[in-house]
Structure 1
Amino acid sequence: MAKYRLHYFDARGYAEVSRDMFHMAGVEFEDVRYNLEDWIKEGSTTKETMPFGQMPVLEVDGEMIPQSSAIARFVANQFGYAGKTAVEKGWADAYADLYKDFLNEMKPWAMIAFGYPGQAGDRDELKKTSLDPAREKYFRLLTKGLEKSKSGFLLASGISYPDLMFFETTTSLNVLEPGFLGTDFPEVTAYFKRIGEHPKLKPYLETRPFQPK
């Protein structure tokens, strides 16, 4: 059996979707967490050990795989969360790209709300001009996808890695912007609740430490 080590900061962030899938699959992995201050301090050589000088990185029997989306796809394909047919796999990747579009469209607000250093702007105004329009657009697209699949998830065969991408980010947004989920998209509200109560995921969600992002 392969030996897995997942390298990331002590946060959910870009690694949590892959952590979710390891726990759902019941596959052992070493969850290697780094302190941000140690990562950025002068003289630290940790970045040099990572292929692209950033994290997350998944180590598989000593081979280092960078980039969060590539890692999530790899883990999903390994453990059955990437779709059951070639067409479903294509749709899973399409929804993952849609997720990245969502992140990009809400980025002006997120850079302020998530506390990235050196960012300027009015958070409330950016909510109106970037977060709210992104939410409206993507919740409508998620509703359309759920109506098409009829499984309660984005793919007809069941839960997949893009479901977890949208779920984890929405979990953070509900903390940083209370009321983000709202009640005007009932299918989406039920969808996120369904993911959180998935029998293979719920035990991990109930035991992981609370982290806002």
Structure 2
Amino acid sequence: MPNYKLTYFNMRGRAEIIRYIFAYLDIKYEDRRIELTDWPEIKSCIPFHKIPILEVDGVVLHQSLAIARYLAKNTDLAGKTEMEQCQVDAIVDTLDDFMSLFPWAEKNQDRKTQVFQELLTGEAPHLLQDLDTYLGEKEWFIGNSVTWADFYWDICSTTLLLLKPDLLDIHPRLETLRKRVQALPSIANWIQQRPQTRF
């Protein structure tokens, strides 16, 4: 088994999908959490100057979704067929496209609040309707078992619900999917033991 070391801030953020996959596959890793104050000096030593990074036997991988794909690749989490794998990637990319619209690093608080509000009330309902329609009566987004697309939905929606608690009120099926993910024993165990952070 390779030696894994994950580096990210002390928050869920972009590293949480990686942590979910590690938890579900029962893979041991070092969860290195750095403080924001230490980031400037660490930043210059990291390829592309962004985290999370995952060191695999000393080889540095970057980009959270690329890392997640690498870890899920030869497991059912990736989808059981090439067609399912494409569908899993499509849902993940759809969610990530939306989450990337938010100006998370915006320093002007008024501007940040305004854009967040516009996205949550203008764009989010369309995305949620599309996701609800895609899910339909199925238990999971793709195929007949959990994939990392379901994990990513849980992680993204948890963040969005912090910003707008009534977001899923008219989408009970999407809320049920979140609960189904969080009830998986390995994920439930991780959620219980992980450091408590807002995001």
What does residue range 57-206 of structure 1 map to in structure 2 within 5 Å? 57-105=53-101, 107=102, 111=103, 116-118=106-108, 120-121=110-111, 123=113, 125-147=114-136, 150=138, 152-181=139-168, 183-206=169-192
Superposition deviation, residue 119 in structure 1: 5.0
Amino acid corresponding to residue 211 of structure 1 in structure 2: T
Residue deviations 1:62-109, cap 9 Å, x none? Answer: 11010111111111215431111110111111111111222244x2xx
Q: Size of the alignment, in residue pairs? A: 199
Which residue identity does 2:186 align to in structure 1? K
Change in 2 beyond 3 A, CA 1:89/1:50: same
8 Å CA contact 1:39, 1:47 repeated in 2 = yes
Which residue does the alignment assign to 1:23? 23
CA RMSD across the alignment: 2.0
**1:4-23 residue pairs with structure 2 within 5 A?**
4-23=4-23
Q: Percent identity?
A: 30
Q: Secondary structure at the match of 1:135?
A: helix
Distance in 1, Cα, partners of 2:147 & 2:8? 22
Q: Unpaired runs of 5+ in structure 1?
A: none
User: Normalised by the size of structure 2, how large is the TM-score?
Assistant: 0.90
Deviating more after overlay: 194-203 vs 27-36: 194-203
Could you tell me whether the CA contact under 8 Å between 1:84 and 1:157 is conserved in 2? no
Distance 1:36 1:79, change over 3 A: farther
What are the ranges of 5 or more consecutive residues in structure 2 without an aligned counterpart?
none
Cα-to-partner distance string for 1:105-146 (whole Å, 9 max, x where unaligned): 4x2xxx3xx5642454272x5455321232211211211221
Which residue identity is paired with 1:143? D
1:49 aligns with 2:49: no
CA contact (8 A) 2:10 2:197 kept: no
Q: Secondary structure at the match of 1:33?
A: strand
Structure 1: which amino acid aligns with 2:140? F
